[in-house]
Amino acid sequence: MLKFPDGFLLGTATSSYQIEGDNVWSDWWYWAERGKLPHAGKACNSWELYERDIELMAELGYRAYRFSIEWGRVFPEEGKPNEEALMRYQGIIDLLNEAGITPMLTLHHFTLPTWFALKGGFEKEGNLEHWRSYVELIRDNIEGVELVATFNEPMVYVVASYVEGMWPPFRKNPLKAEKVAANLIKAHAIAYEILHGKFRVGIVKNRPHFVPATDSERDRKAAEEIDYTFNRSLLDGILTGEFRGFMRTFEVPVSGLDWLGMNYYNIMKVKAVRNPLKRFAVEDANVGRKTDMGWSVYPGGVYEGLKAFSEYGLPLYVTENGIATLDDEWRIEFIVQHLQFVHKALAEGIDGRGYFYWSLIDNYEWAEGFRPRFGLIEVDYETFERKPRRSAHIYGEISKKGEISDELLERYGLGEV
């Protein structure tokens, strides 16, 4: 049996745009209307069904819930906050607390208010004043939550939106990309100053496990380089005031982090390329069976990631970890095996404080639309009926007891890790 320490949070995660529905004020909606993205429409209709979602969490025995505030919903127009929306978010926090579920709040989870995006979003430093107003609004109106993340996966946002051009505003411009990254660090600094003290302020980093494609010196260097650029440069920027971008180095304000979140999903292999603009090619590591996202599964990566991030000396949370599959037995195996490695990290003295499965419910998976099913709970997108899968109950058992039983370990585990 594997026992997690008292107070270790076992919960689930979602984000506003992916579950709420009708976020008509957000840039993703704007671009969906113009045919560039799948439409989120009513999504899981969680804006109306949030009480049901929380009831389910409580019934299933989950101890924590990470969710986000939709900036465009609380600021649908420049300078005009929507009080009712703010009250709803406060209501969600209150309900969670009443149910004994620890809330964790994210302020930016990929989407922007359309008006802010059309002004150039985070490309323009001058726009950070609007971010400041948003953060102040949160400080003045939200309470009952301790853990607040400024940004979800800032590097994923930068790369998908400004390097690969797959997400709004669909740019392929590395120079602009690193400037946006530097501005996100500045935005974090603004938020940290406003929020730290009232909340414990952290950031959520996506951390793929990168391995060199071959044993060659060049591939090994390339893997190290991307590990720095993608996994660490932004954190170092926040903590040291020097941000090493893709091409240039930026001076940014030295700021702080009260905790660090890690989203871990997959393992990728890195190959060196002879192209000064690109330098490396990254692809799925192709080990074993692939999930419905086309990702390879490597449970040991959650341990490697926690170990690498422990060097920052901060309390760590696995803020997302999950699998897109219709094979729910595989989901159970995925959870048990990743938790085995989280447990290993804790046993070695790493300061891990929680684990959030992505996701509580099936939801809108960005440019992939509704096809990938990450949920512990199945959603019928016609009726919005929620049906807990077997994995939802099994994870509930783990969460309620704070332990993984011998029976589960025998059936789904990896033996000694």
User: 152 or 399: whose CB is closer to ligand FCB?
Assistant: 152
User: 320 or 333: whose CB is closer to ligand FCB?
Assistant: 320
Rounded least distance, CB 325 to ligand FCB, Å: 12
Backbone dihedral region for residue 268 (phi beyond 0: left; psi -120 to 50: alpha; all else: beta): beta
Contacts by residues 176-179 (CB-CB < 8 Å, ≥ 24 positions apart): 176/123, 177/246, 178/245, 178/246, 178/247, 178/248, 178/250, 179/123, 179/245, 179/250
- Per DSSP, 230 falls in state I
Rounded least distance, CB 374 to ligand FCB, Å: 6
Write out the residues near ligand FCB by the rule CB under 6 A. 15, 18, 152-153, 156, 206, 263, 320, 358, 365-366, 374
**CA–CA gap between residue 245 and residue 308 (Å, rounded):** 20
User: 21 or 212: whose CB is closer to ligand FCB?
Assistant: 21
Question: How large is the C-alpha radius of gyration of the chain?
Answer: 20
User: 4 or 391: whose CB is closer to ligand FCB?
Assistant: 391
Question: For the chain, give me the number of helices (H) and strands (E)?
Answer: 15, 17
Task: Write b or e for each residue in 150-173: b if 16 or more Cβ atoms lie within 10 A of its Cβ, otherwise e.
Answer: bbbbbbbbbbbbbbeeebbbebee
Rounded least distance, CB 156 to ligand FCB, Å: 5
- Pick from 184, 153, 159, 172: nearest CA to 250: 184
User: 183 or 263: whose CB is closer to ligand FCB?
Assistant: 263
Judging by DSSP bridges, how do beta strands 352-358 and 9-13 pair with one another? Answer: parallel
**CA–CA gap between residue 100 and residue 256 (Å, rounded):** 29
Rounded least distance, CB 18 to ligand FCB, Å: 6
Rounded least distance, CB 340 to ligand FCB, Å: 21
320 is catalytic: yes
How many other CB atoms sit within 10 Å of the CB of residue 267?
22
- Pick from 23, 141, 150: nearest CA to 81: 141
Name the active-site residue from 123, 153, 304, 320: 320
User: 92 or 272: whose CB is closer to ligand FCB?
Assistant: 92
Rounded least distance, CB 369 to ligand FCB, Å: 12
Catalytic residues: 320
